[in-house]
Structure 1
């Protein structure tokens, strides 16, 4: 069997578990600390490139300074020497990282998507926790995407490749310029696409793209090439997640759209603010004014986009092909295509229509034909749109009550924020009256109205609005085996708090893990209630096993989480009886402590020595009278034969 490759005289290199454009990741083993690790090694063919080599070294140093529960830890780094076939020695740097059990978020999405909005929000909050810390430490990730996020079996979040993303080439869709990787296309910020300076807010845009995919099962922008996707990031407004997944609420829509603002000055300015809004949307609390404002602007932008299409169609009808011509110079931005060359997209005013962007490698002879075809399509769209508007306007005229009528139609305000609903009711000449009710719907939104929508009532009438105050009860989850931090997070997601934390012995649960809750799991409690946690102390009580049979004593110690060590001694007590134990019964010791047992075994038989002593020779006298010979019974220590003659 071939001995495993050893790095730094300490790390055994095992099987390949991951591969990127720049590095390979192996399962490793730290022989000094006896623990599994993950080892990232620069690809040998890139080790000859000084720029890659230096970048890899810098990123190893910067990432090693991060220490956060939601960031994959970097333990060590170093360099190995690779001897090529020609005998040349090439340095191959490596990074030793924390080995995380679980799956990448990409694997989770491949298995099931979209995710439940609450789960998507919780996962993104974990990512933002990691980003908030790294940004405070001065490190921008630059490549937030599902493949760089690990989900542990217990639902924990671990973000990988901090800083290293600047040097990792994604083989599928990565934008590069002279070998300088600046992000993955589907999650690229507008400033990255334009080759501008990247800062913390670029990570937040990428996180917004990731959250969009968690909620909808697809990224916000899709196209046939990375360059086309980059164009959309720069100039096309993002769709609302709820347009793909109706389960996404208005507040979550607003949070995502705010994170995807093209102008970095107008989006979230730090990860903490993003996380606060995301948590508020998940728990049904009010989100920030900035996010609400972006949502309104997003709706206006969509209307403006439709108007722009109609205008383009009208221009095409007049034969003005210039509406769909090539980009002008005013307001143009530079986008980095996949081949490293520079192209100039359309001006800001035309960015909403990516059809106006010149195709890469197009045939000039086909351009007039394409323009005419597109013009016809837009013309048809404009005509259809005009007809629809006429129909709607006619319906409005027919439905309008006679002049001087004292009755008005009640507007439909269910599912709208209460402020918007009240404004709509007042605009109709009615008086809103809001009442808070318990509901599973988004907090602050109308769940019911009376009178109903489109009912005709007297002007000035009252309209009752039932507004969600959120659910009034929650079910206590089963937290057995969770760490204290995990339990707090889980309860917080349900609107519950942590009450008294009590350490308990003899639990059979690892130290620091939850043993039980009060109330019990499954109990229904009011939102805002506190749940008491019993947490394992890691201590167990030593049972009294003296006098028990050895097997029974070992079983009793094992049931208590203890180990047994047996020593046998000769004794008159029954065989295999425990005579004494090394730790006093009733003592509190750490789980897994070894208790020595002294056990009886039968005494060995004592050897017996037999000695025979012969008497001195005697003279036998013959006599005519009879004689008697008396002999000592055999087996006595001294055997003496005596002959006595009778007189």
Structure 2
């Protein structure tokens, strides 16, 4: 800890170890004694605390960051000023900021080896930065210093943008960058307008973000030089190499996104962070993007420095270059050490001024200022055609607009959440661009949001389902089959992902079709009414089967079904359900006496009585003019005899009078348990 700092700020913030030092401030680990939490504390260096410019910048950082409440922005909890005693006894007011403390490391550390990071990781990092910028721009704040050292990656992989020390409200950005017209920012990530000392806006941050993405994918910034002024000159005049020329794994679509973000003219860049993020994520998924082809970015399209712009003045704040020793925590966001101007920087200033002077001369020549100088008669030239604006037009209208201008029409599709599906988003070359007559203009039409909902395809045929998926911007995938009680054969039961889920455009959706069969439901343990409903709800018919003895299943509850539960059957099939009659009657171990009251009973009642005694029963029929049909005439063994348990007793049952045999035969065929409905059998000892 620096000796002049007090132990506690504002009576609550304990200052602990120094964890970061930069050109303007020192960052300490801190502890909030009131809320019992670890914080980070940034203090303006005491040796510059008396400079009004640095004080204003430091206070502005506190105000800007405190106005932002977003997961991708390092949170500011508190700020203030503390009177510090200086060497010699003098005191000086030093501002401080209390911030969120986060475990992690900066992107500068990630790039310290000069190697590119995987494309997916680079896209994730830059998407997080664009999330933060979309929010800060929406509330009116331009960061103005997006660079690897100001981007933190937390231990959980989240992105945090920090150091709003040179941020300004957008409405204040029309003024010069500083009161002294010096350039503020880090050379490798400066926008052309910052390098020229002009006003900045949200698109300036997007240029710097493009530089960041370029370095993540290639391992090096888009422009390099041996001085800050040399690098600034390249930002103003030079076109960077395609990232794919330095890293073979970078696809052409990412080339397009990066080069559009690095356009010299703000009008040619992405106009907001949301559109840049949408294109970036579309490119990462292999989808088409709104950015023009990389071929269209050539040195001829670069923007010469405006003659009215004041010359770039190399200052220490301009020349902030990342140091190798970056902090390990998110709150260690002290500015990176400032590079001192090199002794030969004035040479680059002269070179830059020379190019500005040449630009002025060229401009005056073009305006006719030297008309008194004789010039050769120019050769006849073909006048170029201006690409018309097709924004918001449907395909038919856009095609007519392009062809009416003497140009050829081509179509492309891009995902866009703000422009309705089927309407033009942009063109390549862009509107207002001068091109040769007959040139091809590709108009990008919106397919709608990059995310689409899976449609409900239930009950559709496979052909209709695949057609509906294509219309929704999705791909039909594999098919499988399942039983369904409610969906007809070969119709869709459900999809995977399921209907209503939001998925990326182009996602493959699998179809599950009905076999036309249904599965027998498991009715075990259900009473008859419940089992009947379960069977019928499955599109099947219910039938009650024979009761079966069961010690495990309560009397009256379903024991099993035929076909068994889980079997695949056709809709409408009959399912027979057996119910429990309770535990089986224990057969007596002592001899059993044949009851004497069986004669005259119906065969069913007599059979039931004998079975209750643990006896088995057989039946013979005999004609009789004395005993009614289906009534017991006698038994064998005789009534009163004792037999072992489990013995078989034969019942002789009347089939009626001889003249009623035919009628009796018909009746007997309807009697349950009658094995011989055709007439009399052996007497078996009954007289």
With the shorter chain as reference, the TM-score category is 0.3 to 0.5
Normalised to the residue count of structure 2, the TM-score between the two structures is 0.45
Tell me which structure has the larger Cα radius of gyration.
2
Q: Which has the higher helix share?
A: 1
Normalised to the residue count of structure 1, the TM-score between the two structures is 0.47
Higher relative contact order (CA 8 A, sep 6+): 2
